[in-house]
Amino acid sequence: MESRCENCIIRQFNSLRAMSKEELKQVSDSKTTKTVKKGEPIFEEGDKLNGVYCVRNGISKLSKLSANGKDQIVKLASKGEVLGQRSVVSQETTNLSAIAVNDMEVCFIPKESINNTLQKNPNFTLEVLRHMAHDLKEADDVIVNISQKTVKQRMAEAFLYLQNNFGEDADGFLALTLSREDISNVVGTATESAIRIISEFKKMGLIHTSGKKIAIKDERKLLEMVEGF
């Protein structure tokens, strides 16, 4: 189960690819691998992180608790993504919780290895910077979406997002199955509203469902809905 970072395919997807052989070796020697069961936290809002987590398998939701007790899911992270980077870089406690949506396998990399490389290898730092720039752009998009689109439009968008980013299973259902509550927390609405809109989309023939699994039937109409008819 333990393996060397140097040989890890996952690395190709994230900033770690900019590390030198020696740096990778050091990371590999200091990393630990652990499994996280569905529903369990990798870390929680307010934690002081001693390193970052590289996702090898499974999906994690990054969320933030609001005053009224509801979670807002800010991002869904899958294979290859590095969690906790922001916190380690800025040396602050995390502003987000990371909770496993399904069973996960993650590598913990102590912050010393990261900070060391950040100070010495400009290519690595630049790579991390580019990733963060990308995340920031996405966050801006989310802000505009939430504030300017209706719940119905955001629901449609969420389904398309899930399809584009996590694909479909053999039967055409979205490969990532979220609870209705999680869906509502991605979209930023009440669970009941999310459920109601799912029903409505079914009646309109845009999607169909089987248990909590959802399949997209009419992608074009969903797209039109996102744009506002």
Partner DNA sequence: TTCAAAACCTGACATTTGTCATAGTATCCC
Partner DNA sequence: GGGATACTATGACAAATGTCAGGTTTTGAA
φ, ψ of residue 218 to 5 degrees: the values are: -130, 85
Binding of residue 146 to a copy of itself (CB under 8 A): yes
Binding of residue 66 to DNA (CB under 7 A): no
Inter-residue contact 89 to 128 (CB < 8 Å):
yes
Minimum CB–partner distance for residue 197 and DNA (Å):
8
Binding of residue 205 to DNA (CB under 7 A): no
Of the residues 36, 162, 189, 226, which one makes contact with DNA according to CB under 7 A: 189
Binding of residue 181 to DNA (CB under 7 A): yes
What is the chain's alpha carbon radius of gyration, rounded to the nearest angstrom?
19
Of the residues 17, 38, 130, 212, which one makes contact with a copy of itself according to CB under 8 A: 130
Q: Identify what 90 binds: DNA, a copy of itself, none; CB under 5 to 8 Å per kind.
A: a copy of itself
Binding of residue 198 to DNA (CB under 7 A): yes
Task: Report d(CA 80, CA 115) in Å as an integer.
Answer: 20
The binding track of 157-196 with respect to a copy of itself, each residue x by CB under 8 A or -, is -------------------------------xx-------
Sequence letter at residue 100: A
Nearest to 53 by CA among 65, 42, 39: 42
When the beta carbons of 33 and 148 are compared against a copy of itself, the nearer one is 148
Task: Report d(CA 226, CA 152) in Å as an integer.
Answer: 8
Task: Report d(CA 195, CA 193) in Å as an integer.
Answer: 5
